[in-house]
Chain A
Amino acid sequence: MIRTWPRAIAVLGILLALAAGCGKRSENNPAAKGKNIRVEGSDTMVNLAQAWAEKYHKAHPDVSVQVLGGGTGVGIASLIDGNCDMANTSRSMKETEIKRAKANRGADPKEIIVGFDALAIYVHKDNPLDSITIEQLAEIYGEGGKTTKWGDLGVKDPKWAGQPITRVSRQSSSGTYTYFREVILGPGRDYKLGSIDQSGSKDVVALVSKTPSAIGYSGMGYHTDAVKTLKVTKKTGEPAVEPTVETARDKSYPITRPLQIYVIGEPAGTLQEYLAWILSPKGQKVVLDLGYVPIKPHE
């Protein structure tokens, strides 16, 4: 019985030595210190941030990018507290947040737009409709909306006018689903029941391309030749705008929001290199691959 006691001490000793070795390593290894970039923020952008981190690490194995979601608010709070180096946000920082950041970190937060999130409205390629207004979309998708047939949207062609509209939507955990509800349906209004909900941006476009009576929303990056993109008008009478990289960038296309990154002060060193890479064609290709709008035309 007494023999077990020294053994237990030996085991504990080995574990302590392991931990000490591990701790020591982090101090000696330059890769573990200084070359870390801590990213926090928007859940909408967390997949994008992750894809950047993965791709960047392949090209620069000495830099480790640590990505955390949690929401725009979390990212901004962490940036103010000094718990992260860059915050992904899907809204601009408020005046009070900027003041607190300056007081806490000693420099103004700097906003960098790294891409746009533009939602295109897709219909089947044979559909005669060319443009749609935000109110019409709300009447199609929103709870209590009265638009159910293509004829209600002004389609005269007798072959189409009587056809019911097949609504294609997203699953409720999707950020696109939430964004579309906020911008199109307005605060507090829910979706009409009976839509076909797809679990991916790509799936929406695929279904619309096979269903002549369908309408769906998805990132403009998912456009294919089998579908038609509708021009969108803010209000009846205003010009209809086609979602393109340019109209998304100058915000004339109404269903667009910028994807932003905030840093404190002028970025330097590893952080500056990383941000430059994000804005470079390689980083922007990741933006396009994930269905967002890159900031500059690059083809």
Chain B
Amino acid sequence: MNKAVDNQALLSSLAVAKSNPFAPTPLEERKRIKEAIAKWLLAIITLMLVLPVIAILGYLVFKAWPILGPSFLLENPQDNMTAGGIWAPLVGTFFLVVISLLIAAPIGVLAGVYLNEYAGDNWATRVVNLAVMNLAGVPSIVHALFGVGAFVLFAGMGRSLLAASCTLAVMTLPVIITSTREALSSVPMSFREACWNMGATRWQTIRTIVLPNSISGILTGVILQVSRAAGETAPILFTGAVFFRDVPEHGWEAFFPYGLHDRVMALSYHLFTLVTQVRGVSDEIQYGTAVVLIGLVLFVNALSIALRSYLRSRKKW
């Protein structure tokens, strides 16, 4: 009797098994569809982030194609800036970036080291942190006006390469400090403790353990500021950029056309004046200048990514 019931139960359970116990219920089916929608929607939106980059680059290169070539880079603007190339602004941008980094990088890195390695958690540190964060949020046009007041007028630099570089340096400083701190804090505390336990001072620890292990992060932060400094127009607008000036095109002089107290041409400002002020300039030259500017920024960014991954691959923890 009991056995018969058991058999009955077994049979009925077999019947259920035949109708696939793993078949999705309506609830599961709905969840699966929603999952698919969510996945594809997010993927499409992510792809749309890439589209503008490709569209901008493609459009610029297409428009500028006839003029792109070595002579466009190596010649000065000619015939009332309607012909020739962009050598003078290119060199100007190079010097602006290099000098601003020479000022901002040492100060930024050293300040970052102090803030991360020495400073205790007290009100003074918090005030400095707050100042750095606020400095990072200041719009670049305000940096420009500060530059006019502080460097051009008060420090008596006049509108010059030096004043423009100093203004760019002030603008890039907070990001260099922040990225340095992040790089330093990614070095495990145990490294420092091991070093201290060997009898090393803080400075010895920083010099031999902390900095070598965080150099990749620090360099990445510094190099990323190159592209920012190269692309900004506002900070140099009032502090040292010029519409036009002649520079030597040949020989040794061509590579050092600007003194520290000279006014310089810069790529970003050059592009602005080409579009808004210069008469009868061809579209190719305008687009070509834009291609070089964006190419420079992308090149520097790629360089920083390559450097970071190379240095990371040598990390041993």
Contact = CB atoms under 8 A, between A and B. Distances in A.
A47 B278 contact: yes
Contacts of A76: none
B7 interface: no
A235 interface: no
A168 interface: no
A211 interface: no
Nearest to A51: B80
Given A1-B212, A69-B273, A83 B152 contact: yes
Interface in A91-122: none
B245 A65 contact: yes
Interface stretch (A14-22, A180-188, A266-274): A14-22
Interface stretch (B197-205, B260-268, B287-295): B260-268
Interface residues of B, number: 45
A38 B263 contact: yes
Interface in A32-76: 32-33, 36, 38, 43, 46-47, 49-51, 53-54, 57, 64-69
Nearest to A16: B102
B211 interface: yes
A4 B278 contact: no
Contacts of A23: 259-260
A5 B211 contact: yes
B145 interface: no
B263 A66 contact: yes
Given A19-B102, A23-B260, A4 B80 contact: no
Interface of B: 78-81, 95, 98-99, 101-102, 105-106, 152-153, 158-159, 207-208, 211-213, 215, 219, 241-246, 256, 258-263, 273, 276-280, 311, 314-316
Interface of A: 1-2, 4-5, 8, 12, 15-16, 18-19, 21-23, 25-27, 29, 32-33, 36, 38, 43, 46-47, 49-51, 53-54, 57, 64-69, 78, 81, 83, 173, 200, 290
18 contacts: A1-B315, A15-B102, A19-B102, A22-B256, A29-B259, A38-B159, A38-B263, A46-B243, A46-B277, A51-B80, A64-B262, A65-B245, A66-B262, A67-B244, A68-B242, A68-B263, A69-B243, A290-B279
Given A22-B260, A38-B263, A57-B246, 7 more contacts: A5-B207, A32-B259, A50-B80, A53-B244, A66-B263, A69-B243, A290-B80
